[in-house]
Amino acid sequence: MARNMVQFQKGMSLPTFLEKFGTEEACRKALFELRWPDGFNCPECGHHSHCQLKSRALIQCNRCHHQTSLTARTLFDRTKLPLRTWFLAIFLLTQSKSGLSAMALGRHLGVSYNTAWLLKHKLMQAMRERDDSKPLTGAVQVDDAFWGGERRGGKRGRGAAGKTPFAAAVACGADGRPLSMRMTPLKGFRSDSIDRWARKHLSPDAEVTSDGLPCFRAIVETCPHWSIATGGGPASVEKPEFTWVNTMLGNVKNAIHGTYHSIHGKHLGRYLGAFAYRFNRRFELDRMIDRLAYVACRTAPLPKRFATMAEVHT
């Protein structure tokens, strides 16, 4: 039986990772090259000539004498953790198909649960923001979905308390197979919400197919759109026009349930964004560490707005 080349790709092994990023100096060198691939560029005056201070871990511009650290103005800004800990976290989070709980991550890194949770959510936010900057194009399947279930004694269905609505979209290639996906929490399935979502996440040359939910008609303001009435019940998810978006929804929900069992709706966007980030780069698993570190160098420092933790881990 033929093997799926994506599923059986080597990725980056732990020995290879340790050889490349096993020391603090190796991580600093890699981060310097990722942040300034064409050589140091002073954030104040743009000059390239610089020197490394011996007394402190700072880089000084030879023209304006501005001093900056390797991690300043990046996702790693003011971190007290060694860079090798950050790189190990990036390795673990990118090479795991279904994600990793903060409890498991903390055990691997040798840090507290609170530290692992904050580090993980910063990296997931960077993943989410990176994909949000790249609108989907080509043939796109769109569907509505919810995270969470009914609360005992409460209302059932779409209006049930505790459910978080989100839009799911999968872009397919000429052969009909999925290339990339996007899953984004919404305030609700209303025309104004879908219009804002479409303008941000869909390219004008995308060709979108959705079910007959009335709010999806707002997509036509951004790009061509066709709706197909699917009805209700199990048969509604068997329409060939929505094969891949329904498959991705099933995979994502199973992965989240299997890894976390439950997460708070306020953090759902980051979990969905991280899953999509890994999926969208699944063809180059071995390059994902460098790519996420590159993105982290270009992500502004995140405040401690993630301090409220609501992840039920395994």
pLDDT of 67 over the 70 cut? yes
Average pLDDT rounded to a whole number, residues 150-173: 74
8-state DSSP, 293: H
Percentage of the residues of the chain whose pLDDT score is greater than 70 = 87
Q: What is the pLDDT of residues 96-134, one digit of tens each?
A: 888 899 999 999 999 999 999 999 999 999 999 999 999
- pLDDT-derived band at 312, boundaries 50, 70, 90: very low
Instruction: Say if residues 95 and 285 touch (Cβ distance below 8 Å).
Output: yes
Spatial strand order of the sheet with 225-228 comes to 178-185, 164-172, 139-147, 207-211, 225-228
Average pLDDT rounded to a whole number, residues 165-184: 95
**pTM of the complete model:** 0.89
pLDDT of 314 over the 50 cut? no
Task: For residue 157, give the amino acid letter.
Answer: G
Average pLDDT rounded to a whole number, residues 5-18: 81
If you average pLDDT over each of 84-93, 252-261, 275-284, which comes out highest? 84-93
The stretches of the chain forming alpha helices (DSSP H) are: 14-21, 24-35, 83-95, 102-109, 113-132, 191-201, 243-260, 268-280, 288-297
Q: Where are the domains of the chain?
A: 29-70, 80-149+158-314
3-state SS, one letter per residue, for 26-80: HHHHHHHHHHCCCCCCCCCCCCCCEEECCCCCCEEECCCCCEECCCCCCCCCCCC
Average pLDDT rounded to a whole number, residues 223-248: 84
pLDDT of 206 over the 80 cut? yes
pLDDT of 313 over the 50 cut? no
Q: What is the pLDDT of residues 293-308, one digit of tens each?
A: 999 999 999 876 554 5
